[in-house]
Amino acid sequence: MRSFLVLCLASISVAEIREFAGGNEIPHDKYIRVVPESISPIEQHYIKTKDGLYVAAAVRKPKGPGPFPVLIHFHGAPGGRGMEQLVGWVRGDHGSPVFERFLREGYMVVVSDYRGGQNLRRLGEATDPEAVTYTDDALAVVDWVRKQPQADAARIHVYGVSLGGDVVMHLIAKTSVRAAVLGAPAPFRFLGAQNRPNEPAAAVQFDPERTAKNIASVATPVLILVGTEDRLIGIDRVLHDQLNQAGRSVRMEIYNRGYHDFVIGPQGQAGRKEPLLDITMLALENTLRFFGELGNRTR
């Protein structure tokens, strides 16, 4: 895996945005099923949310008593994937190396579901402030994790991909965790932006008032990961710039030839080509390095 780190030498740091070379396909076989279920069995949990709905979460823990740092993952659209899909992801059934890599680093891994988000054309619309949304589901999951005896409540990290990135941004506007990672996020609702993929950042129309209000409560350091072939790269730049202008701790990393959710790798999505790329492994190592750079920061 160290061989992928040489790509860091090709990185270019401009302010808070870094660019990385790569984008070549690699075999995934040696990176999956490396943590036997006999050592880290998959636990299936249903977590009660604000309105009594139960949200599914698949959990794996390192061997030992803990307490362990935690990675909570929120997948892309749509919500409501169900336990079977979550179990497949956390086990690496489709070729993604990410969750087992965190397990090997001593993290408790929680792959969580959430409600809604199916109507992608209306994602930028404001929600009724009294409505129960996927933000409440995410909050319920974080609160549940904080109460687990094997979880280190001071070292909770959240990771959202695509629509899961919007879930995470709303989450960290409501509660603070140690760090947040956004993989190819789709923060349309958070920014009040119109869903227009492939727009350059300068053309993205968003709601400055809603954005400022949401960002005002964000205290969690944020890492944004996106590929050059991602149609959401424009809105992701806007999210980075708005966080940066508000004085928040944010870093954006752009990876050459990265497709929309390359950061997770193969997920078994129907009709999609999802190869494992060298930049998937590099982004994974950079994420772990980002967590390490936080030092003893707990909130």
- 32-56 mean pLDDT: 95
Q: Is the pLDDT of residue 124 over 90?
A: no
3 pLDDT band (50/70/90 cuts)?
very low
* φ/ψ (deg, to 5) at 275: -70, 155
Return the higher-pLDDT residue of 180 and 1. 180
Alpha helix (H) residue ranges in 28-133: 83-91, 98-104
* Residue 119: per-residue pLDDT: 67
Q: Is the pLDDT of residue 45 over 70?
A: yes
Best CA proximity match to 222, nearest among 278, 265, 264, 165: 165
Average pLDDT, the chain: 90
The pTM (predicted TM-score) of the whole model is 0.92
For the chain, give every domain's residue range: 2-293
5 pLDDT band (50/70/90 cuts)?
very low
118 pLDDT band (50/70/90 cuts)?
low
What CATH code is assigned to 2-293? 3.40.50.1820
Own/partner pairs, 213-216, CB within 8 angstroms, 24+ separation: 214/169, 214/170, 214/173, 214/190, 215/173, 215/242, 215/243, 215/246, 215/248, 216/246
Q: Where are the beta strands (DSSP E) in the chain?
A: 12-14, 17-20, 43-48, 54-60, 68-74, 108-112, 151-161, 179-183, 222-227, 250-255
Report whether the peptide linkage leading into residue 78 is cis, meaning its omega lies within 30 degrees of zero: yes
pLDDT single digits (tens) 219-262: 999 999 999 999 999 999 999 999 999 999 999 999 999 999 99
| CB contact at 8 A, 242 and 211 | yes
- 181-208 mean pLDDT: 92
Q: Is the pLDDT of residue 7 over 60?
A: no
